[in-house]
Structure 1
Amino acid sequence: MTKVLVIQAHPHIDNSLSLTVGKEFVEDYKKSHPNDEVVIRDLFTEEGVPALNDVTMIAWKKQKFGQEMTDEEKETIKKHDEWLDEFISADKYIFINPMYNHFLPAEMKQYLDLTAIARKTFKYTPEGAVGLLTGKKAMHIQAAGGKYHSEDANPMMDLGSVYLTKMLNFYGINDIDNIFIEGADENPEKRQEILEKALQDAQAKAPKF
């Protein structure tokens, strides 16, 4: 069975363009892939993404050298392993987020830090780092108030999309597609038109994903 992991990095608000298009994509995907397992990982729950803090670093060091850990350190390692194992076990990934100041939400960045683990998602070799998650694919659904991917725009100003793509490449994932919902703040009178076009993109791409 194919496992699809939906990584949703968005506050729980109404009328979100990225959440609306993301929901449409996931629902259409389920219709065309009824036997696949779809798991939603919401990064904006009260629990949030496991932190990379002092406790984490100490726990990793103790784990590496086989030293006794405190209960807090053991629980920290357990949470990290659960999230990492979930990520590694997926065959396909759907990332859903708004653009924040030309980048990803902090929760998405923290999630990528959580999954960038040597010997798990990549490994070091004499020739450099090599990704271990080959053969997988990803879809990135992102809304932005301005335009960054139209013919007259500069896509390099969308640093978040560039970063996500590079990190997935680092993991060995090269089959990546995107749905960008852009310009609704620049042109509020075209908001519905922009949304409708993105929904059509989702409906067209979901069955093929």
Structure 2
Amino acid sequence: MEKLLYITANPKGIEKSKGLKIGEAFLETFLEERPDVEINRVDLFAYEFPQMDADLVFARGKLAGYGYTIDQLSEPEREKITRMHKLADEFISYDYYVFVSPMWNLNSPAVLKAYIDNLFISGKTFAHTANGPKGLLSNKKAIHIQTRGGQYIGTPMQELESGDRYLKIALRFLGIDVMETVVAEGFDINPKRVPEILEQAIINARYAAKKFAKDSVLV
């Protein structure tokens, strides 16, 4: 059975979050198209995972480049790197990924970047080759659903958006096929148009979900 991991980075909850409403519409349509796919959810604001502190940075470096074994690490280093690998292994076990996040201060919530940091493990999710790094997570698909208060598409502000851009770069670096982002923007600068913007975003999300569900990633 194929599996989809639904990853959200919004502390508001679905009643107050426009992005989470759009995400639920995406999931509903995806399941209509692919009822055979198992869905699991991760709320990053309620999920405990390793942070890139000194212990984890040193542990990763020692294992990757300095010939250490895991038994030679300090107890805090060993505990944190083990948790990092467990998170990455769990992530790898999925076939589809849906990320839902708002734009905060030109980027995504910091908790999303902290989560992605756990996925960059040499030899597990990417490999160093003679031609540069190569992602190892092939035959997997991802999509990002992002909400924005301002207007960025087609304006000079477009180049300032870095959250969606970073996420797509990171996932593609790991070898994942990333679909075009579902963007809903202008909520803060067009308060009277919020229902209209939300309605159109849900339509766009349902369309994207049908496309996302179209082909199995299994070969």
Could you tell me the TM-score, scaled by structure 1's length? Answer: 0.90
Q: Is 2:182–2:208's contact at 8 Å kept on the other side of the alignment?
A: no
What is the deviation of 1:104? 1.1
Match of 1:162 among 154, 162, 165: 165
Q: 1:22 corresponds to which residue?
A: 23
Letter in 2 for 1:195: L
1:134-166 deviation line (CA, Å, top 9, x unaligned)? 2221110010101112x4454322111111111
3-state SS of the aligned residue for 2:12?
coil
Q: 1:192 corresponds to which residue?
A: 195
1:123-138 correspondence to structure 2 within 5 Å: 123-138=127-142
What is the deviation of 1:122? 1.0
Q: Is 1:93–1:139's contact at 8 Å kept on the other side of the alignment?
A: yes
Letter in 2 for 1:179: V
Q: Is 2:184–2:198's contact at 8 Å kept on the other side of the alignment?
A: yes
What is the deviation of 1:80? 1.3
What is the deviation of 1:62? 6.4
Q: Is 1:33–1:207's contact at 8 Å kept on the other side of the alignment?
A: no
What is the deviation of 1:60? 3.9
What is the deviation of 1:54? 2.2
Q: 1:51 corresponds to which residue?
A: 51
Q: Is 1:62–1:68's contact at 8 Å kept on the other side of the alignment?
A: no
1:14-163 correspondence to structure 2 within 5 Å: 14-45=15-46, 47-60=47-60, 65-66=68-69, 67-69=71-73, 72-149=76-153, 151-152=154-155, 154-163=157-166
1:39-72 deviation line (CA, Å, top 9, x unaligned)? 1111101x53321112323444666522345554
Could you tell me the TM-score, scaled by structure 2's length? Answer: 0.86
Q: 2:177 corresponds to which residue?
A: 174
User: What percentage of residue pairs aligned between the two structures are identical?
Assistant: 37
Q: 2:4 corresponds to which residue?
A: 4
Is structure 2 residue 206 aligned with structure 1 residue 203? yes
1:148-189 deviation line (CA, Å, top 9, x unaligned)? 12x445432211111111111211123422111100101000
3-state SS of the aligned residue for 1:204?
helix
Distance 2:51 2:155 in 1: 39
Distance 1:128 1:104 in 2: 28
Distance 1:160 1:86 in 2: 23
Q: Over aligned residues, Cα RMSD in angstroms?
A: 1.9
Letter in 1 for 2:24: K
CA separation of 1:129/1:69 partners in 2, compared to 1, >3 Å: closer, same or farther?
closer
Q: Is 1:147–1:153's contact at 8 Å kept on the other side of the alignment?
A: no
